[in-house]
């Protein structure tokens, strides 16, 4: 029986009536925004400031907590990363040195040693003359 009463009280609007009601709702919203716009804007600004303050506080607390947690975790991790980086660098340098040696291209050490030997021989020759 209750469903029959709901059906009886339900008002059916035509698409034209619905469009007109939407138009009136839009005009009402525009009128209210003109009348109470400055009040709303002040409230929005106050809420925005409050939200910004809370967000900044939460972010700072989170950063502090993360830094405290990371300090204990990062130190050993940093040592491991540095060790792996050193091993990788050594492996790459040794690989390049082998490749250059196979190609007959002298390494920087070889060139520096030869330069030092040439300088020594040049001094000895000047001393003999």
pLDDT in tens, 45-68: 888 899 899 989 999 998 888 887
The answer to whether 13 and 21 are in contact (CB under 8 A) is yes
Question: Is 9 part of a structural domain of the chain?
Answer: no
Q: How many domains does the chain have?
A: 1
Residue 97: inside a domain, yes or no? Answer: yes
3-class secondary structure, 74: helix
Inside any domain, residue 24 = yes
User: Within a domain: residue 71?
Assistant: yes
- Whole domain around residue 87: which residue ranges? 14-128
Report yes or no on 78 lying in a domain. Answer: yes
Residue 81 in domain: yes
Residue 6 lies in a domain: no
Residue 112 burial by CB count (10 A; 0-12/13-18/19+): exposed, middle or buried?
Answer: exposed
pLDDT values of the chain reduced to their tens digit, one per residue, 129 residues: 455 554 545 566 788 888 889 888 888 887 887 788 778 778 888 888 998 999 899 999 988 888 877 777 777 777 888 888 889 888 888 888 888 788 888 878 888 998 999 999 999 998 987
């Amino acid at each position: 029986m209750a469903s029959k009463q709901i059906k009886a009280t339900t008002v059916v609007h035509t698409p034209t009536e619905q469009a007109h009601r939407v138009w009136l709702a839009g005009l009402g919203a525009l009128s209210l925004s003109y009348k109470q716009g400055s009040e709303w804007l002040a409230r929005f600004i106050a809420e925005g400031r409050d939200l910004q303050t809370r967000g900044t506080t939460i972010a700072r607390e989170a950063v502090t907590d993360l830094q405290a947690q990371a300090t204990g975790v990062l130190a050993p991790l940093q040592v491991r990363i540095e060790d792996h980086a050193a091993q990788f660098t050594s492996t790459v340098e040794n690989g390049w040195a082998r490749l250059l040696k196979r190609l007959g291209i002298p390494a920087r050490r070889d060139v520096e040693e030869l330069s030092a030997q040439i300088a020594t021989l040049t001094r000895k020759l000047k001393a003999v003359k």
